[in-house]
Amino acid sequence: MADLSGGREVLAVAVAPPGEAPPAFQYSPDSVAGADGEIDPTEITFRGCFCRTSSCVVDVCSCLSHGESYNSLCLRPTDKEEEYTRPVFECNTMCQCSESCQNRVVQRGLQFRLEVFKTEKKGWGLRTLEFIAKGRFVCEYAGEVLGFNEARRRIQAQTSKDSNYIIVVREHLHNGQIMETFVDPTYIGNVGRFLNHSCEPNLFMVPVRVDSMVPKLALFAATDISAGQELSYDYSGRCHNLPMTNREEKSLQEDKRLRKPCYCGSRICASFLPWDGSLFSTLDTSSGSSP
Ligand SMILES: C[S@@+](CC[C@H](N)C(=O)[O-])C[C@H]1O[C@@H](n2cnc3c(N)ncnc32)[C@H](O)[C@@H]1O
Ligand SMILES: [Zn+2]
Ligand SMILES: [Zn+2]
Ligand SMILES: [Zn+2]
């Protein structure tokens, strides 16, 4: 079987139909420093925990000071509202615990057999070849990690016919700061670059930190997903199908002329792909993510 990752992932990535392949790019399972050299996602800056147990537990482990993130490989919601707002810090290279610690999930890589396939109207897409339970980690959105100026330069160089792969993730950190992460898998990336947008997605994105504050953009199953289903997330970052704010509604109306039609096929389709106008002007302070 063809493996789009060329043996770089822990599981082969299938391609359909046989004999066809998406346009070439350099496959990397993990994010890499961008051509601008501003941010290096492979740097190790966190100190590890001192747990000498095989698996870390809350109240003892310094990596779990925000509470336990996972339960049997599934991301745990923060509260009854099923929100996943807790910051996720996995055990890292410097930790004393074992490789099988329950606080190591995203760093283990692909856990399900996935297939890059040709869709009818959206170019290439990604689907699962096996059942995925709600809360499980599916794949990372890996690519070049860029600084703001290089991300803006690349976005401005795109035409409306180009596929946009650049994602912007804004996080409101606990110290009140806003952290922005720009990932571009156009030239170097992993399977995540084939995820299409849906207005009713089956995945949601969570920034997960392992060795440093540069997050891995991890996609988790929002619902049980059966074999053969296309995988998708909401490019706007409204990860749990929350209604739009008035401000978002207004910017949707303003930007419609510039935007691409959405072919997600959902009954609640917003008709257009989300758009991040802030990269074209000054930075704003909204939360969420959008490629
Ligand atoms: C990150 S790429 C996804 C993979 C892409 N389909 C490909 O062939 O490589 C994002 C681009 O895919 C297309 N796309 C993604 N979701 C779409 C949707 N719901 N409707 C129409 N086009 C979509 C748009 O061209 C968008 O700029
Ligand atoms: Zn651990
Ligand atoms: Zn620990
Ligand atoms: Zn849609």
Band (176; pLDDT cuts 50, 70, 90): confident
Mean pLDDT, rounded, for 236-247: 54
Is 36 inside any structural domain?
yes
Please identify every residue whose CB atom is under 5 Å from ligand 4, which is an ion: 199, 262, 264, 269
- Per-residue pLDDT, 1: 74
Determine the average pLDDT of the residues in 54-72. 94
Whether 106 is covered by a domain: the verdict is: yes
Residue type, 162: D
Least confident of 92-101, 130-139, 162-171: 162-171
Q: How far apart are the first and last CA of the chain?
A: 31
Q: Which atom of ligand 1 is nearest to the CA of 165?
A: 1
Q: What is the mean pLDDT of residues 260-284?
A: 77
Residue type at 206 in one-letter notation: V
CA–centroid distance, 56 to ligand 4, in Å, is 41
Q: What is the mean pLDDT of the segment spanning 105-122? A: 98
Q: If you measure from the C-alpha of residue 57 to the centroid of ligand 3, how many angstroms do you get, rounded to a whole number?
A: 7
Question: What pLDDT, on the 0 to 100 scale, is given for residue 276?
Answer: 65
Q: Where are the alpha helices (DSSP H) in 114-175?
A: 148-156
Omega cis (within 30) before 274:
no
Q: What is the CATH number of the domain that holds 237?
A: 2.170.270.10
Task: Indicate whether 8 belongs to any domain.
Answer: no
Residue of 25, 119, 122 with the most ligand 1 atoms within 8 Å of its CB, for mutation: 122
The torsion angle over the Cα atoms of residues 151, 221, 207 and 240, rounded to 10 degrees, is: 80
Question: What was the pLDDT predicted at 85?
Answer: 73
In tens, the pLDDT along 2-41 reads: 899 999 999 999 999 999 999 999 999 999 999 999 999 9
Cis ω on the peptide bond leading into residue 185 (within 30° of 0)?
no
Residue nearest to ligand 1 atom 11, measured at CA: 163
pLDDT in tens, 116-156: 999 999 999 999 999 999 999 999 999 999 999 999 999 98
pLDDT at 281: 44
pLDDT beyond 70 at 282: no
Q: Whose CA is nearest to atom 4 of ligand 1?
A: 194
Q: Which pLDDT does position 77 carry in this prediction?
A: 86
- Tokens encoding 38: 């501003």
- Determine the atom of ligand 1 nearest the C-alpha atom of 167: 1
Instruction: Ligand 1: list residues with CB < 6 Å.
Output: 22, 122-125, 163-165, 193-194, 196-198, 260, 262-264, 273, 291
- Please give the residue that has the higher pLDDT: either 66 or 44: 44
State the distance from the centre of ligand 2 to the C-alpha of 157, rounded, in angstroms. 43
Cα 137 from Cα 240, distance rounded (Å): 16
Residue 169's domain comprises: 14-290
Interacting residues of 208 by C-beta distance below 8 A, sequence separation 6+: 88, 90, 106, 215, 216, 217, 218
- DSSP calls for 62-77: GGGTT---EETTEEPP
What is the rounded average pLDDT of the residues 158-179? 88
The three-point CA angle 124-209-133 to 5° equals: 55
In a domain, 5, yes or no: no
- Which residues have C-beta within 8 Å of that of residue 274, sequence separation ≥ 6? 197, 234, 235, 236, 290
CA atoms of 237 and 274, how far apart (whole Å): 9
Mutating to test ligand 1, I would choose from 197, 258, 276 the residue with most ligand atoms within 8 A of its C-beta, which is: 197
Residue 3 lies inside a defined structural domain of this protein: no
Domain count, the chain: 1
pLDDT of residue 243: 41
Residues near ion ligand 2 (Cβ under 5 Å): 56, 91, 97, 101, 103
Residue 231 lies in a domain: yes
Q: Whose CA is nearest to atom 1 of ligand 1?
A: 165
Is 9 inside a domain boundary? no
Mean per-residue pLDDT of the chain: 88
| Higher per-residue pLDDT: 114 or 82 | 114
Pick from 202, 139, 143, 198: which is nearest to 167 by CA? 143
Q: Which three-class secondary structure state does DSSP give residue 138?
A: strand
Helix (H) or strand (E) holding 250: helix 246-255
Helix or strand or coil: residue 154? helix
- With a cut of 50, say whether residue 50 has pLDDT above it: yes
Q: Is residue 4 part of a domain?
A: no
Query: Distance between CA 129 and CA 229 in Å, rounded?
Result: 8
Query: Comparing 67-71, 95-99, 216-220, 277-281, which segment has the lowest mean pLDDT?
Result: 277-281
pLDDT band at 158 (very low <50, low <70, confident <90, very high): confident
What pLDDT score was predicted for residue 289? 43
Report CA 188 to chain centroid distance, whole Å.
15
